[in-house]
Amino acid sequence: AMAAERALAMATCTAPVNIAVIKYWGKRDTDLILPINSSLSVTLHQDQLKTTTTAAASRDFTEDRLWLNGKEEDVGHPRVQACLREVRRLARKRRGGGEDTAALSLSYKIHIASENNFPTAAGLASSAAGYACLVSALARLYGVEEELSEVARRGSGSACRSMFGGFVQWQRGERPDGTDSLALQVAPETHWPELRVLVLVVSGEKKPVGSTAGMQTSVETSPLLKHRAEVVVPERLAQMMRHIRERDFEGFGQLAMRDSNQFHATCLDTFPPIFYLTDLSRHIIALAHRYNAHHGHTKVAYTFDAGPNAVIFALADTVAEFVEVVRRSFPPATNGDQFVQGLPVGSATLSQELVAAVVTEPLPGAVQYILHTKPGPGPQLVDDPSQHLLGADGLP
């Protein structure tokens, strides 16, 4: 039987980042990563932001090993181990208990290498893309095709939403074992072709408190978070699904802004309080509202996670003008030509009235660059073996 087992097997996948428009904040089970409320996100395109992961198993490996962006890391991390254990469990179940001799041995040690196509230092480094990619590559390696968002959820809650493209709901579920706490696609990325995303990458500072610790303190101390999870989110989730279905940008944008603001309000309601929004975030928020007020309706919408970068939603016909507004408001320090990255942005001339009403007090250098992207697909298998992040020797 041993002779039929493959000596080395390798699989490479890519996975996307997602940005929530109805935020996940708070767990009812910290071990299984079960949320106190459902959430909804937009998956961003992997041409601009993606993680690539290669997973390999070999009879010759003597220990499990993990490399992130070329640097060896601790493979014993409980969340990495939870993902590995769950994928192997699904593989065993699939094989019906009996050893399929043609299948990859589940007892072989594994090597994993993962890297991002964006600078980690920019604070875009997303555990969501990382765990979605890890689970996708492991599943491929072991030939598992089951519902995998439940496994990705064990890596990082928001990672389950990166298992699908387009518009994705993570339903909180009711069961204590988490088997109904899954991600579901609400609509594919093709559903809303005009929707665009601008990531305003801001200069400096790391986030003060990580999401995992921060949301736990919020669950323990914030009465606003309890009200949000029980009353506000169920209503908003239904509204948001309708706005997406109808491609209603005004409704979508207003609700995304309100939900981001309420998430940050629950952070302030946490004791001791947590501050993710900065003076610059507040400048960007005010700028978006002045811009919308000038046009008399919602043309741009902001959302902020547990870090200082701003994510802006807009329709394609608004991007060039708003990018010019951002450039005037945060004049680039040195990198004038690289200020806009990602999808091409056309040029726009701003009217005197627009400049006077919207560009109030410029802050030079405060925004490092703008990344222009759009909704995109879920995890992808990389077929080309030259793209593997591990060599035939199983090393990066």
Inter-axis angle of helices 211-221 and 249-269, nearest 10: 70
285 binds ligand DP6 (CB under 6 A): no
Residues facing 322 on adjacent strands: none
Q: For residue 18, with 0-12 CB atoms within 10 Å meaning exposed, 13-18 middle and 19 or more buried, which class applies?
A: buried
Least distance CB 8 / ligand DP6 (angstroms): 32
Least distance CB 240 / ligand DP6 (angstroms): 13
Helix (H) or strand (E) holding 284: helix 279-295
Nearer to ligand DP6, 136 or 211 (CB): 211
What's the Cα-to-Cα distance from 185 to each of 105, 241, 377, rounded to whole Å? 33, 11, 11
309 binds ligand DP6 (CB under 6 A): no
Least distance CB 126 / ligand DP6 (angstroms): 8
Task: Build a one-symbol-per-residue string for 205-234: x at contacts with ligand DP6 by CB under 6 A, - elsewhere.
Answer: ------xx----------------------
Binding region for ligand DP6 (CB under 6 A) out of 65-73, 80-88, 93-101, 155-163: 155-163
- Kindly state the number of chain residues that form the binding site for ligand DP6, as judged by CB under 6 A: 14
List 305, 322, 332, 396, residue binding ligand DP6 (CB under 6 A): 305
Nearer to ligand DP6, 45 or 111 (CB): 45
Nearer to ligand DP6, 33 or 199 (CB): 33
Nearer to ligand DP6, 39 or 149 (CB): 39
Least distance CB 169 / ligand DP6 (angstroms): 11
291 binds ligand DP6 (CB under 6 A): no
Asked if 255 contacts 232 with a C-beta cutoff of 8 angstroms, the reply is no
What's the Cα-to-Cα distance from 335 to each of 172, 203, 317, 368, rounded to whole Å? 43, 13, 25, 8
157 binds ligand DP6 (CB under 6 A): yes
127 binds ligand DP6 (CB under 6 A): yes
Give the pairing of strands 109-116 and 65-68.
parallel
* Residue of closest CB approach to ligand DP6: 157
Nearer to ligand DP6, 36 or 137 (CB): 36
How far apart CA 268 and CA 228 sit, in angstroms, is 14
List 39, 46, 53, 298, residue binding ligand DP6 (CB under 6 A): 39
DSSP label of 296 = T
Least distance CB 159 / ligand DP6 (angstroms): 7
Asked if 353 contacts 186 with a C-beta cutoff of 8 angstroms, the reply is no
116 binds ligand DP6 (CB under 6 A): no
Least distance CB 212 / ligand DP6 (angstroms): 3
Nearer to ligand DP6, 209 or 357 (CB): 209
Nearer to ligand DP6, 114 or 156 (CB): 156
281 binds ligand DP6 (CB under 6 A): no
Dihedral over alpha carbons 28, 32, 33, 36 (to 10 degrees):
-20
Q: Which amino acid is at 65?
A: R
Query: Within 8-37, which residues bind ligand DP6 (CB under 6 A)?
Result: 20, 23-25, 33
Strand, helix or coil at 154? coil
Asked if 135 contacts 89 with a C-beta cutoff of 8 angstroms, the reply is no
Nearer to ligand DP6, 46 or 156 (CB): 156
The pairs formed by 243-250 with CB atoms below 8 angstroms and a separation of 24 or more are 244/167, 244/186, 244/187, 244/191, 244/192, 245/186, 245/187, 247/191, 247/192, 247/194, 249/195, 249/298, 249/299, 249/313, 249/315, 250/297, 250/298
Q: Kindly list the residues in this chain that would bind ligand DP6 in the complex (CB under 6 A).
A: 20, 23-25, 33, 39, 127, 156-158, 211-212, 305-306
